[in-house]
Structure formats: structure tokens, C-alpha cells
Structure 1
Amino acid sequence: MKRILLLALPIALLAACNAPDKGEAATATPATTETTAPAAIDAGLLAANHWQLDDASDGSGARIDALFVRADKPVTLDFGDGRLSVANTCNRMGGSYGLSGDTLTVAPMASTMMACADDALMALDQAAGSRLEGTLKVQQLDATTLVLATAGGDVLRFRGEPTAETRYGGEGETVFLDVDAQTKPCSHGVMKDAQCLQVREVHYDGNGLEQGERGAYENFYGSIEGYDHEPGVRNVLRVKRYTVKNPPADGSSLAYVLDMVVSSEMAK
């Protein structure tokens, strides 16, 4: 029995206090807080992070609970090459975007068409998409925070997590790995009585046709960031491979980050 996973589409604060003029009654004026928008949006800074939704409120200040269906997997934005990708909704969504001054404009987004059993998770697509499409005001953007205001008055606050490209200082090399269904015992350096993934590379041409024959599975000493192996399931993964600058003495000089699960099947 085979189980095939769908391919996903490649989707500031200033406090002011008003003091009374001389001669006026000394009446205390509460401090007000407002965000300071960037004069121009730094596209490179947008692309340097995965932006995870940290808080969201409507025009009255109430939390938008519909956007927080997956507590352990917040809605995440990724910007790059003129496209916005949205992850951790029911379906992956994505569309083109443009920048002008402190304004971010997102074109209507396309999405995969996978059905989710959880009704709240299904509704998350609409809740996120309807707020992210159109014109958004960038109220704050720095290395750790992105604050967007929608035309309807909602405010979305995101926390920045550096991308692998940012952490490793380069684009990385795209490779495909065939990961066998079962791990095997292995020992390497400080890894005693460990279980290693069984991995072999797969090669494709520019048209996506597999080239050559797959070799034998070998122990994979390390981990693939973002990949959780399920025993009994064999996967073909598209990963990014990065060179680690100044690796620790007992560590690898290569780092692997999951880009996509290309296919998945139960072992016979």
C-alpha cells in the first residue's frame, strides 16, 4: 500500500508622553504606544527569516483565535524571489508580493487542495488567506519582529527565526535522499548504541526523470533538520545540504535541512 504526499506549492514601538504647557493645570496624560513603520521595507531582511505568527488581534484588540489552531505549529511566512509562502495551515498557500515604501501587497494566493479532518484546521486556510492577501502596512520590521496591519484593522505580529541560508551563510546544494523504512544500529564517535537512518542519494535530470541506478543504503550519521522519521515508512526527500563553517571536533562539516517530502510509501 502506497501513501503519496502532495507536493506543496513552492507561499516599531515608540512611547510618547504629553506634558502640560507651563501655566496649565498639571494634568497627567497617559503614555501612548504606537509602532514606527520602516521608511522602506528591507526585502533582504524579510527573506532572512521564517516568520512565525506570535500574536494576532482585531480592531478591538481581541485575540484572533481562529489563527492559532495549531499551538505547536504556528502559521509561518517565508519571503523569497518575489513570492510569499504560507505554511502550517491545512494547505500550503503561496503568491507573489510587491513592496512599496512601508506597504506590502500580496496577490491572490493559490493553494494545494488537501482536505483536513479537523474543521478548525480547514477554516484556518480562509482565516489566514483573507488577512494576508491585499495591501498590508508594515508597522515594524527588524531582525526578530515583523508586524503587519491589514486594511480591516487586524494586527499580526510575527517572530523571526533565521533561515538555514542565514544560519549557514549560503544557498546550499539541493540533493534528493531515499530514506529506508527502518533504521539500523550504528556507532560513530560519541554516538554509542545509536540508530542511524539508512540513506542513499537519488539523481534526477532537468525534467525530473531519475538518472542511473540507486546505490546501496548507508548509515547516515547525523540528522535532517525538519524531518521526523516514521518507522516502516520509506521516503524520498528533497533536502538542502550546507557546509558548516568551523564545525565542532565531533560534528559533521555538512548540515541537512528538509525542503520537501517528495514521496512516501509503507514498507512491504
Structure 2
Amino acid sequence: MKIKYLILALLPLGLAACQSSDMQTFGDNVVTILQQQNPSKTLNAYDWHLDTGASKHMVLKFDNEGRFSVSTTCNTLGGSWKVESNQLVVGQLMSTMIGCNDQAMQQEKLAGQLFEQKAIPLFLDVKDANAPTLTLMSSNGQRYVFTGKMTPETKYQGQAETIFLEISPQTKSCTGVAAQTCLQVKEIKYNEQGLKTYQDQNWSLFYDTIEGYTHSPNERQIIRVKRYTIKNPAADQSKYAYVYDMAVEREAIKGSL
């Protein structure tokens, strides 16, 4: 995959001067919020979504090792990050280079323009911990409001175990707490050479849900899943939460398409 480097430009001094009043107001609001929390930990605890009108949201992710990514409908940008003096300070950007349609290109152009700044004024509002907002100001004074969605690590307060499940195209009626429809699964282990071994040759009923996964009766799939342990689950609740990560294998069922 080709990588392109986006050279970051310094904000023009004249532009900064003419916007000084707006920036001051923005900065005063930032101080009020950031004095009450650790902004770096908050940024890391959520995935940040911006609706730009494209088919998919622009999504920001900040890891705890000083790297961030910007996922668009088509390409992904990334670089280093830190918070200093109420600003998001980013390093040199890198981007994948996939051909995109016009709508996706507009979203990617917006991402490039916003993050080509070395220091981006930010406003972090966490009054609603379930849907905090991150406002970033571009060099021309435009504000972009991202909405936070808790990462699974934040939501479940721990790291996940990675497991692999083969999913049958056919579901079955089952009864857990109440009558429901269950997936049929087989757990798989992979060795260092990538060879798979089935833990059980028979299908097992899966009573839980897999967040982010959509079942298809027309496909046999092997998926990678993150399994989190729920702390202090209710009496009628599973001790695990499952989050879809990616499809490893997909096979259309003959005659279904």
C-alpha cells in the first residue's frame, strides 16, 4: 500500500492575528473544561465521530502511545499527537492512497486540511459522559464538533481476549432469559503457522449478542471477536461482552446469491 506524506504548514501570522478575538473566546472556554480533567485520557477513552454528509462518519482514534488515526470513507490518515496549552498538537501526517469517489474525496480533503495544522485549538465537553463532544477549530475559524463513543476498553474497564468464531448461516430458536434466536457457532484456535483447529466439531448455541456484527443467512463466516469480562454482572447477565473485530473468512452459500 502506498503511503503519502502530508507536509504540515504553519498558520499564517496574519490569519492568526485577525482571528485573535475569536481564538481568545474559544480558549477561555477550553480552560474552564480542561481544568477539571485530564484531556489526554478523555481523548483516549472514546472514538470521536463527525458526520460530514459522506456515507461513513469521519472517526478519530487516539491511543495511549501518542499515535492517532483519522478514518474516512476511503482512506486513513495518522500521526503523532499530544495535548499542550489547550491545543491538540499533531506531528507529520501519513495517509493510505486508495482511489475514492468525489464525496469521499471531499471528506478526506477536509480531514487533511484540519490536521495539517501543527496545533489545533480544542474544546472538550464531558458533561454527558455517554456522549461527550470534542470541538476542533480549523485555521480559518471553522469549528467541527465530534461526538464521543466509549471504546470497549473504557466501557468494560479492561482489555479484551481475542477469540475466533465460525458462524453458521442458519440460526436457531432458543431460550435464555426469554425466548430468542441464537447464532450457531464453533470456536476456532489458530497456531503460529495460521493453521486452525476446531475446539468442537458440533455447532453450539450462542446466547449472547456480538456488538457490531450483522448476521447473514447467505454466508458462512469466520470472525475475529474481542471478548471482555463484565465486572459484577447481574444475575441474569452473561459475564462476557463480545465485540466484532473483523471477518477472517467469508463464503457465500451455494444458490443463495
Which TM-score tier does this pair reach, normalised by the shorter chain?
0.7 to 0.9
CA positional deviation for 1:257: 0.9
Please name the residue that 2:215 is paired with.
Answer: 229
Please name the residue that 2:153 is paired with.
Answer: 165
Instruction: Return the alpha-carbon distance in structure 1 between the equivalents of residues 236 and 91 of structure 2.
Output: 45
Please name the residue that 1:253 is paired with.
Answer: 239
CA positional deviation for 1:48: 0.6
* RMSD of Structure 2 on Structure 1 (CA): 2.9
1:119-268 map, 5 Å? 119-143=102-126, 144-180=132-168, 182-192=169-179, 194-205=180-191, 209-213=194-198, 215-216=200-201, 217-268=203-254
CA deviations on 1:19-55 (whole Å, 9 max, x unpaired) are: xxxxxxxxxxxxx96452346862211111111226x
SS for the counterpart of 1:257 is strand
Inter-CA distance 241–188: structure 2 relative to 1 (3 Å threshold): same
CA deviations on 1:73-106 (whole Å, 9 max, x unpaired) are: 4322111132222335233443333443333214
Q: Which has the larger radius of gyration?
A: 1
Inter-CA distance 108–88: structure 2 relative to 1 (3 Å threshold): closer
SS for the counterpart of 1:110 is strand
Residue type of the alignment partner of 2:120? K
Inter-CA distance 92–236: structure 2 relative to 1 (3 Å threshold): farther
Instruction: Return the alpha-carbon distance in structure 2 between the equivalents of residues 93 and 229 of structure 1.
Output: 30
Aligned length: 219
Please name the residue that 1:37 is paired with.
Answer: 30
Residue type of the alignment partner of 2:39? D
- 8 A Cα contact 2:72 2:108, kept in partner: no
- 8 A Cα contact 2:61 2:69, kept in partner: yes
Which structure 1 residue ranges, 4+ long, deviate > 6 Å from structure 2? none
- 8 A Cα contact 2:187 2:200, kept in partner: yes
Please name the residue that 1:48 is paired with.
Answer: 45
CA positional deviation for 1:229: 1.5
- 8 A Cα contact 1:146 1:159, kept in partner: yes
1:67-106 map, 5 Å? 67-70=52-55, 73-80=56-63, 81-87=65-71, 89-104=73-88, 105-106=90-91
TM-score, structure 2 as length reference: 0.72
CA deviations on 1:96-123 (whole Å, 9 max, x unpaired) are: 334433332143132363x55x531343
CA positional deviation for 1:148: 1.1
CA positional deviation for 1:69: 1.8
- 8 A Cα contact 1:183 1:196, kept in partner: no
SS for the counterpart of 1:167 is helix
Gaps of 5+ in 1: 1-31, 55-66
Please name the residue that 1:28 is paired with.
Answer: none
